[in-house]
Amino acid sequence: MNTASLPQLPLRDSTGALDLLKGVRVLDLTNSIAGPYAGQLLGDLGATVLKIEKPGSGDDVRAWGPPFLEGEALWYQSVNRNKLSLTLDFQKPAGYAILERLVKQCDVVVVNVVARVQTKLGIDHNTLTRLRPGLIHASLTGFGLDGERADMPCYDLIAEGYSGVMDLTGEPESAPQKVGTPAADMLAGHDCAMAILAALVRRSRSNEGCAIDIAMVESMTRFMAPRLMPYLGSGEAPRRSGGKDSVIAIYQTFDTADEPMTLGLGNDAIWKRFWAAVGDPAFGEDPAFATNAQRRAQRPRIVERITALLATQPRAVWLELLREARVPAGPISRVDQVTADAELQRRGMFYAVERDGCRVPQVGLGIRFDGRSEACSRLPPRLGEDNTEVLRDWLQLSAQNLDQLRADHVI
């Protein structure tokens, strides 16, 4: 892989790690993206997160490459920091006995297999709450725990298709397009972490546990609310239009003399400021364009005028001018330009942590508490790297016990 950009990332250590969830123990039985992302969010906030993986192979996403770094897929490394890794075959009796002991020590268990498999493996809510009263059990699946789709497998792509987002993404003449990041995975993972936090607050008051049911399709469908609600209220179904249409009259991409840009004239004041900034205040004051509804009715004419105007100067000129005028506008950044963004770098969104002489890149939490954000107290763990620590320190297993478990391929 190309690591030329890695030395430019500032090194960060674990100093100042967030401690909002200090003392909370999370058992992460998930794999792929959505569940692990939920666990990473909780770990970033200070929880102790123990990731349980299959001996030998581990989380499926470890193999989702290239690119790889230190033999691990970078997709895996994007959603698994601030965790411990324990390999455990809990389909074997000795492994399940260890799982039971771990559950008794944890506040939260996160799973991402369908209800039938949860019951078969003994990791469903009813089974685990008998071991640990007050347990918060979070299930993250494609379609939820009940209904005719409950047993169906699901990935991000499938959830995006169900939600309607793919149908509205892309140019009018193009085929439906997937969002350029695993949006359903990330949204469902975020929902899972948010739900767990709410359940922890309730448990702090009442000692009451919770059975959380997150469906990727429903998380992604809720994300579509600003497009679904207008249809539900009007019967007018929106169609994909690229970056060139919105309920806001002018809210789209435009070409300039060199590179494309975005422009959002979201209210009447911004509309007037834009035209004053580009030297045509009279057009902005024209009563024929006084409201958003009027501007939408004459949108083709307005777009044609703005298109011709913006084509006369490079993007940098327009962005500086519109910034001074407080008009929402920006570049359409490539991934390499995002990571080189000076302000995002200043805010700590991109950093590296050194391990054995290798710099492992990270994308920050992007949330600050009292001026601080997450620290990477633990890099995404190598498969089973914490077996000895967890089983010795959490369960007081002896070296002889550990040797036997390895010999039996339980860990």
Report pLDDT digits (tens) over 244-286: 777 889 999 999 999 999 999 999 999 999 999 999 999 999 9
Checking if the pLDDT of 74 tops 90, the result is yes
Quickly state the pLDDT bin for 13 (edges 50, 70, 90). confident
Which residues lie across from 351 on neighbouring strands? 362
Q: How many CB atoms lie within 10 A of CB 9?
A: 17
Mean of the pLDDT values across residues 127-140? Answer: 97
* Percentage of residues of the chain with pLDDT beyond 90: 88
Q: What is the pLDDT of residue 357?
A: 83
Q: Give the Cα-Cα-Cα angle 391, 141, 145 (nearest 5 degrees).
A: 105
Q: What is the pLDDT of residue 241?
A: 83
Joined tokens for residue 363: 């994308």
Mean of the pLDDT values across residues 305-312? Answer: 97
Checking if the pLDDT of 1 tops 70, the result is no
Checking if the pLDDT of 29 tops 90, the result is yes
To 10 degrees, the CA torsion angle through 188, 194, 195, 201?
170
The HSE-up count of residue 304 (CA atoms within 13 Å, CB side) is: 4
Distance, C-alpha 141 to centroid of its chain: 15
Q: What is the pLDDT of residue 356?
A: 85
Joined tokens for residue 22: 């200090």
Checking if the pLDDT of 131 tops 80, the result is yes
Quickly state the pLDDT bin for 231 (edges 50, 70, 90). very high
Mean of the pLDDT values across residues 9-35? Answer: 92
Joined tokens for residue 160: 């995006």
Mean of the pLDDT values across residues 328-336? Answer: 94
Active-site annotation holder among 59, 89, 156, 185: 185
To 10 degrees, the CA torsion angle through 394, 397, 399, 400?
-160
Mean of the pLDDT values across residues 229-238? Answer: 92
Q: What is the pLDDT of residue 2?
A: 52
CA-based nearest residue to 127, from 99, 146, 153, 147: 99
pLDDT greater at residue 13 or residue 372 = 372
Distance, C-alpha 163 to centroid of its chain: 17
Q: What is the pLDDT of residue 246?
A: 74
Q: What is the pLDDT of residue 3?
A: 52
* Percentage of residues of the chain with pLDDT beyond 70: 98
Cβ burial 68-80 (10 Å sphere, 16+ → b, else e)? bbeebbbbbbbbb
Q: What is the pLDDT of residue 253?
A: 93
Quickly state the pLDDT bin for 242 (edges 50, 70, 90). confident
Mean of the pLDDT values across residues 310-322? Answer: 97
Mean of the pLDDT values across residues 206-210? Answer: 96
Average pLDDT, the chain: 94
Mean of the pLDDT values across residues 108-114? Answer: 98
Quickly state the pLDDT bin for 303 (edges 50, 70, 90). very high
Distance, C-alpha 369 to centroid of its chain: 19
- Residue 185 known to be catalytic: yes
